[in-house]
Every structure is written in structure tokens, then in C-alpha cells.
Chains A and B, each alone.
Chain A
Amino acid sequence: MDSHHSYSQVKGVSTGVSNLFIKSYVSSKTINKLIQVHDRIFCCIAGSLADAQAVTKMAKFQLSFHSIQMESPPLVKAAASIMRELCYNNKEELQAGFITAGWDRKKGPQIYVVSLGGMLLSQPFTIGGSGSTYIYGYVDAKFKPDMSLEEAIQFSTNALALAMGRDNVSGGVVHLVVITEAEVKHVVVPGNKLPKFHDE
């Protein structure tokens, strides 16, 4: 999930592979589903990870070329548009969705959802993946615009902990990426260090 506040971004992803097909085991509890496509732009991937990795690899190349041609860091919207073009034009073959988020000089922190068929939507915060169904109520109730950095990190961690608590195929480790103008911080929180809620 993603949330952003006035000057930076927090992206959080909990790992656990939920396979759409016959196999129903968790193939890895520790993979990182946050891919960096540029200095201040990251993508959360979902769906078929093979497809998602192929798309982000192509997008990373195109974005890097675009950024060098423009002689300036790319806009988050440009990154999201590149992903959208790839998803939309190849929608028959691909099954991958993304949350593209980052910081740019023009509009500051932004979050864009690129869905399976190639829809592009900008949102103040967003959630996705199998565990997200369990936390819609929580995030809708608890989100406030213009949170501070610490509040945003706490909000993301809580939401992920709740989802991991209820979803059988979510769990393992939380990867958080905090993107600000100045730097990018990657925080890994193992499952047993997450905030504890009432769970049976």
C-alpha cells in the first residue's frame, strides 16, 4: 500500500505470493515487491510477478532514456504513463498491476495506480493485493491528508500488519520505502516486529 503526505511518500508492501492458479503455497516470504524504476520513483508490483518484472524492466529502460533526453529527473506521471502504455498495449498477454509512486520537482509526492488493463489513476493513498480487501475499512477510517512522515509510516505499518493478520497468503516481511526529495530510505520489518493487534 501507499500513502503520501505533504513532502514525501511512504510505500509499504508485505510479501507473500498469492498465485492465481492451481498451486496454493507461499513460494517466498521475503521477496521484495518494490522495484526502483528511477532515483525517486518506485513501483509496487502485483499479479503475475514474471509479467510485472518484465514490464518494470522495460519501463526502467525507457524512463532512463527519457530522463537523459530531457536532461532532468522524470516526472512521476511520466513513469506511470510509460507503465500504462505497456500494460494497455499488451493487455492480452500481460497480467500485472502496479502502484507507481515517487517524488518529482514539479508536483512533489504523487501516487498513481496502473491497473491490469491499463487504467491510470492518481490517488492520495491506495491499497492493493489479496490482503487489501481486509483493510479497506481501516484505511478509509484512519487516513488523513497531510500527515507527517512518522504518522504516514505508522499508518502504513499498521495497515499492513492488520492485512497480514487476516489474509492467509500475506505475511512474512514488510518492505517499506520512504521517498523524499533528499533521499530514499528502505526499511525492512520482520513479521514478528510488527505492531500487535487483537488476533485470535
Chain B
Amino acid sequence: MSSIGTGYDLSASTFSPDGRVFQVEYAMKAVENSSTAIGIRCKDGVVFGVEKLILSKLYEQGSNKRIFNIDRHVGMAVAGLLADARSLSEVSREEASNFRSNYGHDIPLKHLADRVAMYVHAYTLYSAVRPFGCSFILGSYDEDDGPQLYMVDPSGISYMKEMTCRELVKEVAKIIYIVHDEVKDKAFELELSWVGEVTKGRHELVPKDIKEEAEKYAKESLEEEDDSDEDNM
């Protein structure tokens, strides 16, 4: 399915004859080739899970985080080029902080997602810069508005995307384990975070004991599936 740009793909300020901006599409490929990030919304919160591929045995556990805290109540999980994602997390933090300074309260997630999406979109307009090669998921929990989840992709669109948080953490771990391709990639470290009623609206990394319980559940589920496959044969 590789589309050949042939001359129309050299800069983000050029349309192709069929109305596509190839640079933005190539940026989305960077996201597709990266390892998985998940955000799931449940009735009392949001859980994030990221499959962090371990590139070297020398890396310490917990380094190269792919889940960021944007404000007390907002978390961001990223997929794609990590350096681009880090710079965008700083941008999001500034937006949230300026909002609080001007208006005296927490930034509503929809507004934050819109503002960051506008920023990402701006980089798709000029030939002097390249689009951001990352997508990210923003999540938050608020007493009045409940749990919310938004996704932003390299083209600059933002769009909105239900178990309790504690049960969901186990399911997210299970999904990451299933999705992890043993053949293509080597070892990986699971990064999990959550925001919801259980954390009183603050975005935090999932505590170690709950994370271990979730990983145990995920590994056990995988083994069960392997066993059932054998029975079928």
C-alpha cells in the first residue's frame, strides 16, 4: 500500500494532485511504527497503558517515560517519535498553566486538546518545519464532567473516545501483553497510569502492587489462551 509521492511529498506546504499532504501522512507512519499506547475510559476514571520497548539492557527500569503529567488532573500517553512527544508535553503544560493563571481554575480537557491540536496543526502548514511525528492521548477526570479521553494525531485533529478503574487496569495490562509481538520486538516494560475517582482526580502512575497484580493477571490470561489453543489442536 506504499504510496509514491514523486515530487509532491517533499514539503508540508505542497498538496498532491489528489488533495493529499504527504508529509502529514508520512508523519502518521512514524506513529504506526511505534509501540502501543492505550487509553481507556471507564465510568469512574481513565487508565493509560504503554508498551515500552527495552532497547538496551543497560536502561534502568522506569526510564524513558512515555506517560506524562500535564497538570494535576490531566495525563498524556504518547506514541511515535518520543522527542517530538516530549516537546509537545511541554507545550501542553504551558497551555494548562497559562489557563489556570488567567481564569483561576483547571483547564477543561476539551479546551486543552483543542489548543494542542491547533499547535500541532500549525506545523503542518509550512515548508520550513516538519509535522510532529507523534499521536497522543489526553485523559482526565473531573467530579462534574466525569472521565474524558481525547486523542490528537499529527494532522492536528482532536477527537473524543467505558468497568471501574481498578478492574480496567488489569484489562489494559492484558491488552498490551497480547498486542506485544514476541517475534518482532524484544523485551518490554509496561508503564501504567490512571486518573479518576480512585485518585481523587489526580493523574498518577499506578502503584507498584496494583501494577504487579495486573501484570500477573495479564501473563496468566496469555497462558490460558495458549493452553486452549493446544487443546483445539
Interface residue? B208 (CB, 8 A)? no
Flag if A69 contacts B103 (CB, 8 Å).
no
B115, closest chain A residue (CB) = A69
Report Cα–Cα, A70/B144, bound state, in Å.
15
Interface segment out of the listed A2-10, A72-80, A130-138, A177-185: A72-80
Q: Which residues of A contact B114 (CB under 8 A)?
A: 69
Contact of A80 among B104, B111, B144 (CB under 8 A): B104
Query: In the bound complex, do residue A82 and residue B111 qualify as a contact, i.e. CB atoms below 8 Å apart?
Result: no
Partner of A120, one of B102, B104, B108: B104
Q: Which residues of A contact B105 (CB under 8 A)?
A: 75, 77-78, 81
The DSSP consensus for interface residues of chain B is helix
Q: Number of contact residues on B: which range applies?
A: 10 to 19
On whether the beta carbons of B144 and A81 are closer than 8 Å, the reply is no
Residues of A within 8 A of B108 (CB): 70
Min C-beta distance of B99 to chain A, whole Å: 10
Q: Which residues of B contact A69 (CB under 8 A)?
A: 111, 114
Judge whether A78 and B104 touch: CB under 8 Å: yes
Q: Are A81 and B103 closer than 8 Å at their CB atoms?
A: yes
Given A69-B111, A70-B108, A70-B111, CB of A82 within 8 Å of CB of B102 = yes
Name B93-110 residues within 8 Å CB distance of A. 101-105, 108, 110
A85 close to B (CB within 8 Å): yes
Most B-side CB within 10 Å, residue of A70, A75, A120: A70
Distance A80 CA – B104 CA, assembled complex (angstroms) = 8
Q: How far is the CA of A80 from the CA of B111 in the complex (A)?
A: 20
In whole angstroms, how far apart are the Cα atoms of A77 and B104 in the complex?
A: 6
Residues of B contacting A82 in the complex (Cβ-Cβ under 8 angstroms): 102-103
Residues of A within 8 A of B103 (CB): 66, 75, 77-78, 81-82
Cβ of A106 < 8 Å from any Cβ of B? yes
- Residue of A at shortest CB range from B143? A106
CA distance A106 to B108 in the complex (A): 13
Kindly identify, within residues 59 to 108 of chain A, every residue whose CB is under 8 Å from any CB belonging to chain B: 66, 69-71, 75, 77-78, 80-82, 84-85, 105-106
22 contacts between A and B (CB under 8 A): A66-B103, A69-B111, A69-B114, A70-B108, A71-B110, A75-B103, A75-B104, A75-B105, A77-B103, A77-B104, A77-B105, A78-B103, A78-B104, A78-B105, A80-B104, A81-B102, A81-B105, A82-B102, A82-B103, A84-B104, A85-B101, A106-B144
- Give the top 10 A-B pairs by smallest Cβ distance, nearest first: A81-B104, A78-B103, A77-B104, A81-B103, A77-B105, A106-B144, A85-B102, A75-B105, A78-B104, A70-B111
Inter-chain pairs besides A77-B105, A78-B103, 11 sampled, C-beta below 8 Å: A66-B103, A75-B105, A77-B104, A78-B104, A78-B105, A80-B104, A81-B104, A81-B105, A82-B103, A84-B104, A85-B101
